[in-house]
A and B are shown apart, each in its own frame.
Chain A
Amino acid sequence: MSRHDNNRYRDRSPVTLWAPDAGHPDAIGLRSIGFWLYMMSDAMIFAALFAAHGVYTHAYGTSDITASQVIDPVEGLLPTLFLFTSVLMYGLASVALKNDDRAGVVRWMGASLGLGVLFLLVEVWEFAGLVGEGAVPQASAFLSDFWTIVWVHGGHVFVGLIWMAAMLIQISREGFTETVVGRFINLRIFWFFQAVIWVCVYTYVYLMGAS
């Protein structure tokens, strides 16, 4: 029996478990599709919240506070403007990344961060007003649902802002390494996704609530 026969139990020749010339794995692409799939599962969390909103839209219980009293679509345009502009600024940071412009990335991402903070401040101001009117989450099923949807989205924005601040530090310190660029692309997915979800929140909660 030869040393390299087909009987693997007896064959003691070295086994190659990978192809040495397979090339560099596409780490950025793999991270991107992995994070994108996570965002798809995140979208299903919002599906559950929108489903609850559909059920509780007019569930006021013993509360005399209705949706049209607490929701102002025109007032809701201000955070819409801040969030969409923040997304635009992040897009311009992406263009600066493409052009290998570190100062440009930091400048546009800083603007995006600032506008994201303004978005949250407007939301806080709006809901502080609701508290003053007694429209707290525990007042009715509708209000608990309204607070939850808006603030789950707001929580996403808050996490995105922390991530953005961390990215600013990493880009300033490390430059455009493969790891940093991969994180930048994932944050771009996360941040742009917040604009798409906000279209649903503004339409389904603010506009439908007032119509």
Chain B
Amino acid sequence: MAHDEHNPLTHPEVRSASSAMYIAAFVLGIVAMGIACLVTVGFDLSQSDTLTWITVLAVIAGLGQLFLLFKLDLSKTMIWHTVSLVLTVPLFFMAVGLTIWMFHYLALRTMVGG
């Protein structure tokens, strides 16, 4: 993370700004969400097919934004940002997935309605 200590504008996180990557992130996000919306309301797909498609598109948009906006990589500047995200993502999906799984079987066994 070496940089000119007297000028904060030489910091690697400042220097990493890139118009091309920000525009690419914007286009990717808008196109992916637009297609996902079209898949949901414009096509007569089964619910599982729709969920698969919009999940794939969300993953593409999310990963694209993480890479293009945050510049996450294994460089000396960003490696610990990347590592902490990689360690957080499984926790995120475990929290969501296991909670839904637990309450799904709870509902089946107790017949509790909404």
How would you classify the secondary structure of chain B's contact residues: helix, strand, loop or mixed? helix
Mark each residue of chain A from 39 to 64: 1 if its CB lies under 8 Å from any CB of chain B, else 0: 01001101110111011101111000
Please name all residues of chain A whose beta carbon is closer than 8 Å to the beta carbon of B57 when the two chains form the complex.
203
Interface residues of B in 58-114 (CB under 8 A from A): 58, 61-62, 65-66, 69-70, 77, 80-81, 84-85, 88, 91-93, 95-96, 99-100, 103, 113-114
Q: Closest approach, in angstroms, between the C-beta of A159 and any C-beta of chain B?
A: 19
How many residues on A have C-beta within 8 angstroms of the other chain's C-beta atoms?
A: 65
Please name all residues of chain A whose beta carbon is closer than 8 Å to the beta carbon of B41 when the two chains form the complex.
73-74, 210
Closest residue of chain A to B93 (Cβ to Cβ) is: A47
B37 pairs with A43, CB closer than 8 A = no
Q: Closest approach, in angstroms, between the C-beta of A57 and any C-beta of chain B?
A: 9
User: Which positions in B face A, CB cutoff 8 Å?
Assistant: 1, 3, 5, 8-9, 11-15, 17-19, 21-23, 25-26, 29-30, 32-34, 36-37, 40-41, 47, 50-51, 54-55, 57-58, 61-62, 65-66, 69-70, 77, 80-81, 84-85, 88, 91-93, 95-96, 99-100, 103, 113-114
- 18 A–B contacts from the bound complex (CB under 8 Å): A29-B77, A36-B81, A44-B91, A47-B91, A54-B100, A56-B114, A61-B113, A74-B41, A84-B30, A87-B25, A88-B23, A88-B26, A91-B21, A95-B19, A141-B114, A182-B8, A203-B55, A211-B47
